[in-house]
Structures are given as C-alpha cells and as structure tokens.
Structure 1
Amino acid sequence: MAERGAHLTAASVYEDRPSIFEVVAQDSLMSAVRPALQHVAKVLAESNPGRYGFLWRWFDEIYALLDLQLQQHYLSTCSASFSENFYGLKRVVLRRRRGSELQGGPVTAGLSRRRHWKSLCLLVLVPYLRTKLEKLIARLREEDDYSIHPPSSSWKRFYKAFLAAYPFANLAWEGWFLAQQLSYILGKARHHSPLLRLAGVQLVRLTTEDVRALEEKASAAIRGCSQPAGSLKQQAQSALQKFLGALAFSLSTGLSVGVFFLQFLEWWYSSENQESIKSLTALPTPPPPVHLDHGADSPLLPRLKSVCPLCRKVRTNDTALATSGFVFCYRCAYGYVRHHQRCPITGYATELQHLVKLYAPEK
C-alpha cells in the first residue's frame, strides 16, 4: 500500500513529472495575483476617480493585456507560463511512437507555432471569457430579481433557461477539472488540467541543461543589446523587441518579488479577516466630500431630502450607495452604477453589490 501511495508525495513513475502539489500551487499563483491587483486598482480609483477611475472600469481588459504580454514572453523564452516557470516547470510536446514518448527540444527552442498559440489562448483568453461570463450572469440575476429590463415574451424562455442552466454547466466544468486531477494523482493521466490536454502539451521539471541554456540565452541577449543594428527597419524591430522584452521582464520580476506579498493581501482582505478588522478598527463617520460642503446651494444635491439627485423626482424604492451614503431611486442608482461604476455625487468607485435598499418602518 505504501508503494502505491508514494506518488502522492514524490514524483510519479516518470522522474521528471511534477507532483500534484507543484502543479496545483502553480495554478493557484495567478489566481492569487488577480484579486490583489484588482484591490490596488480599486484603491487608486477611490483615491482619485478622475485620474485612475479607468483602471477600475477597464480592469479586466487591462489585466488581460498585461497577462497576454507576460505569458507570451515566457512561452517564447522558457516554454512555460509565468507561474509554471516560477515553480521550475516547462511545457513539452509528447509524441507516441510504439509506446514510447519523445520529448521536444531544449527549453530555449520554445514550442511549435501551433501549440504556442493554443497555449497562449488557453492561458489568457479562457480566464478572461469566464470572468466576463460570471459578471454577465450576476448582472442578469440582479435584473431578474428586481424586474429591471424584463425580457420580452419571445426571449423570456431562453433568458430563464440560460440562468437556470449556468450552475449545472459550471458544475460540469469544475467536475471536469477535479476528475482530471484525480486521474493525475492516481497515475492514470499525464495532464492535471484539461487545458493542458487541449493544448497538446505536458508539464515536466526543468533539468540542469535547461537552466544552463536559459542562463546562456540571457547572457547572449545582454551581449546583443550592446551591438549596433543595421538598417533603420532592423533598428525599429530591435527597439520594439527590446521594449516588449523589458516590459515582460519588469512584470515578471515585479510579480516574482511581490508574489508572497500579494498572497498576504489576498488573506488580509478575505471576508473572514475583514470581520475581525472591522470590529477592531471601528471609526466614526467621515465628513462629506469637500466639493459638497455648500449646504442647500450645491447644484449636485436637491433641496428636498426626499428627492432623488438623479431624476429630481420624489424617490421610489429608496436605495443607498454603501460607498458614499447618498440615497437614490433604485432604478436610477442601478442604471448609473452599471454604466459608470462610480457614485454620481462623489465619484467614488462603486459596484452593483454596493447598492443597499432602504426599508422605511410601517406607520
């Protein structure tokens, strides 16, 4: 029994095959980086909405572009993603020939063009599309719960069926990954993730020759930078390559140095830790923004407290924004926050989850 379970803590039958702990750790690395960067963007947007508000509104697209550049750099130079290279792994193409497995060339040679682009799309595009889909589902459920923009009769069945089928589709997706990991643990599969199988590659550990080849390539790149280029076109291409390489190197170095700090931020801002922080750091209500300290003469606020600042009518279905405390009609607040992601009065970064409905006591 001990021999059968040895693969749980050591490498499996293949000497260069990573353990389940290594592959799961590299998978969780990027998932820990994203929330931390998202919190940084939120803090900057709240501190100066006019200058940094776009970071919060377009965070998914900005993060996808940075992730694309980072993964492109590492796939081209190290035959691995950033997180895989961080844990000393690489991607190889395995071909079956009479039961034997033939690996590709050295790590510096990179993947084939086809598998390179397949790996890049699965590393960047799939997480981006899933994030947008989850936000779309959350918005559709919000609209369905409060009957905002109800679907027409022709689309109502499809609308309801889509919301009802998504949890089962998501369960099947997660179950697919779990089954693949269990097969990897038991030695029945070469890939711990279906995405690697779709890309046609497998993860193995870096060898001593791979590390030496990477060091020699880095040294050759430094020596090449000191040599002058030929024509103007070659100089432009060389400058562009240097810029993209420097950008990817800066991103990778910054993430490598700050990865543990980012994981600490993820724990610090977790829901369990926030409860204890709020109980220990209860502060009084902050004063209103300086540009609103004009009393009844402020053009942004109506004279009557029962009037919505957006539609300038008596409020219906009172709703407050948790980020600023101002009260609006629910439809007004929902529509504005959905399109602008900020408070219409203060400009603070705001999401739909910050809408708080107010219930007046019955008289």
Structure 2
Amino acid sequence: MAEAANVRQNLQNVPSIFEISAAETLDNLIYPALSKIFDYFGLRLDFKLWGNLRVREELSPLLTWILQYLYLRNRASSFGESFYGLQRTATGTGELLTRPQQFTSATLLTFLPYIERKLRSRSAQHEDTYAWESYLINLFHAYNASKAVHTFAYLIKQASSHSPLFRAMRLTLRYPSEPPQEDKWTYIFLKMLEVLAFFLQFIQWWYSNDQRRKVGGTLQNPEAMQKRDLPEEVKQTLPQIGKCPICLLPLQTPTACSVSGYVFCWKCIISHMKEHGTCPVTSYPISLDDLVRIYET
C-alpha cells in the first residue's frame, strides 16, 4: 500500500509534455519581447572598444540572463517554469539546484537561443558566414533533432527528462511537493514579474509576422509615377523598365518589396534595408520578411 501511494505521488509530480512545452514557449518570449521594447526606446550598447573595433549589441540578453538567474536562485526554476509551477530537481536525489547548476542553467537558457537566432538571421540574410558559423548551425540542427528524440522518449515514459541538456546536467522537471520558501518582498517582486508574462505575450503577438503584415496591408500603396507629369530632366533619371531603382542597372536577382510593390536587385535592396530599414522609393518601413524573390520562367 505504501509503495503504491509513493508511485502515485511520483506520477502526480511529473508534468506533461504540454506543460513543459508551454513553459519553454514563455521562456522563449522574453528575449524577442524585450528586444522590441529596447529597440523602440533605442536602448543598446554602442561604444568604441579599441582601434576600429566597435561594440554594437543588445541589452536584452543580459537582462534576460539576470531575470532567469533570479528565478533559478529563488525558486529553482526558470521564468516560464515558475509560471507553470514547475521546479528543476536532481534526477537521482530530487534535491534542488546547486549554485553552479543555477549559473549554468541561466546561461544555457539565455545564450543558446540567442546565438541560434543570430546565426539563422545572418544565414537568412545571405551574409558572408564563416565556416565555424555553418558548423554551429549544423550543431544546432543536431541538438534540435536530439531534443525531439528525448521529447518523444519522455512522452512514452522512457526518459526521466525531456531534453539532452537536462540529461547532461542530471536534472528533471517536477512539481514541488511544497511551495518555495521566500520572504514577503521577494514573493511580491517575483509575482509582479509573472504578471508581466501576459505583457510579453502581447508584445510578441503584436510584432508577429502575421500581425505586421496586417498592419502593413492597411498602408495605402503609392500610385505609379506618371512620366508625363514630370519635368524632362527628371524623366531622364528615372530607371527604365527592367532596371533597378537603386543602381539604375538591369535587374540582377529581381526582388519585389511587398509593402510598396517595387522591384529591385536583391543585393541593392538588402544593402539599403540594412542601412535605412525603408523602401528606397516610398520610404515605408520594411523588413526581410517584406522581400519576395521573383523567379522567371
């Protein structure tokens, strides 16, 4: 009887893969949401280090790390895991995180997604990438495949942890048998941060691709320029049909801007977008998602 009760208690303490996935999703919202807020206010590191080396980096990863470490130290769980009432414990003993495990967990939670996002962004923008960057991208592919295998094994109850990182650190996610012990002000502060989770979700939704396209779609597209209404000297400077409005040469790898409808060379519009963030003809804000390659048949 006692054995059966113990088994039941252990099973009740094991979260489902859906709860774990929800916690991971919330953790993954922190960095992009903070990035949008900081970009809006223009908050980022930008200073000259030495020589021609200049540091231009976001503050979001640093603040994300501090937030995650605060939760791991006080509640032995990440921001998302704490929101869903989960706790990181040692697989064999059930003990809470040690100080090195707290530091390692916060670092992996913050910088692995950050590095992966940066590498994929450089690759998507067809920037010149180094060999080690391609190697790292392949490592992330292998890690994601390994995580999928671990998730499936956890789903069929053949693994004690859902992630290879948890297995490497000998940790697992469980529901705590008793609420965490913390002072009143720490409890109030962390609760206020959890309320911000809804704000983070709203920020991410607002800046999602679908919503951005809806907002962009409400912009009135500019009418085509009528040559007869322009002075003769201006007409001579306009690009001819089949030529790029930026370089005024025949189109190379034609790419359309979905916001304005104009067609440019791929390299020309990418360079202009990185520098100005707008369509060069209409000055509407654009991003990489607004560029569409045109394939001739």
Q: TM-score, normalised by structure 2?
A: 0.66
Is 1:218 equivalent to 2:184 in the alignment?
Answer: yes
Corresponding position of 1:120? 106
- Give the superposition deviation at 1:13: 4.3
Structure number with higher helix proportion: 1
Contact 2:90 2:171 in 1 (8 A): yes
Which of 189, 194, 204 is 2:159 aligned to? Answer: 189
Distance 2:186 2:238 in 1: 72
Query: Which 5+ residue runs of structure 2 have no aligned equivalent?
Result: 1-6, 45-55, 224-228
The aligned residue for residue 258 of structure 1 is: 199
Distance 1:52 1:324 in 2: 26
The one-letter amino acid of 1:285's match is Q
| In structure 1, C-alpha distance between the alignment counterparts of 2:69 and 2:282, rounded to whole Å | 40
C-alpha distance in structure 1 between counterparts of 2:141 and 2:192, whole Å: 37
CA radius of gyration, larger in:
1
Deviation digits for residues 230-278 of structure 1, max 9, x if unmatched?
A: xxxxxxxxxxxxxxxx7x87654321x4366568x38x9576x999x79
Is 1:180 the counterpart of 2:166? The answer is no
Select which of 169, 183, 186 maps to 1:199. 169
Q: CA RMSD in A?
A: 4.8
Structure 1 residues 128, 36: CA separation in 2 closer, same or farther (over 3 Å shift)? closer
In the alignment, the residues of structure 1 paired with residue 79 and residue 22 of structure 2 have an alpha-carbon distance, to the nearest angstrom, of: 12
| 1:136/1:260 CA distance change after superposition, 3 Å | closer
Deviation per residue, 1:324-350 (Å, 9 max, x gap): 445544432222224554434555443
Deviation at residue 72 of structure 1 after TM alignment: 2.1
How far apart in 1 are the matches of 2:105 and 2:217?
Answer: 47
Relative contact order: is structure 1 or structure 2 higher (C-alpha 8 Å, sep ≥ 6)? 1
Residues 171-201 of structure 1: CA deviation (Å, up to 9, x unaligned): 5323211221222233332211122223343
Aligned match of 1:316? 251
Q: Deviations over 1:189-235 (max 9, x none)?
A: 22111222233432221333x24x23xx124788xxxxxxxxxxxxx
Instruction: Say if 1:33 and 1:296 are closer, same or farther in 2 by CA, change over 3 A.
Output: farther
Identity %: 26
- Residue 96 of structure 2 is aligned to residue 130 of structure 1: no
Aligned counterparts, 1:1-363, within 5 A: 13-31=10-28, 61-94=58-91, 96=92, 101-104=93-96, 111-140=97-126, 162=134, 171-208=141-178, 210-211=179-180, 213-214=181-182, 217-219=183-185, 251-255=193-197, 257-258=198-199, 261=202, 265=205, 285-287=220-222, 303-306=237-240, 310-311=246-247, 313-317=248-252, 319-344=255-280, 347-356=283-292
Distance in 2 (CA, whole Å) between partners of 1:360 and 1:220 is 61
* 2:257–2:291 contact (8 Å) kept in structure 1: yes
Change (3 A) 1:282 1:131: closer
Which whole-Å CA distance do the structure 2 matches of 1:36 and 1:287 have between them? 32
Change (3 A) 1:114 1:358: closer
Kindly tell me: are residues 52 and 21 of structure 1, through their superposed partners in 2, closer, same or farther at Cα, counting changes over 3 Å? same
Amino acid at match of 1:89: L
* Distance verdict in 2 for CA 1:310–1:37, change over 3 Å: same
Instruction: Give 1:83's aligned amino acid.
Output: G
Distance in 2 (alpha carbons) for counterparts of 1:33 and 1:302:
51
Cα distance in structure 2, aligned partners of 1:325 and 1:262: 28
**Which letter maps to 2:169?**
A
TM-score by length of 1: 0.56
Does the Cα contact within 8 Å between 1:84 and 1:90 map onto a contact in 2? Answer: yes
Letter in 1 for 2:74: T
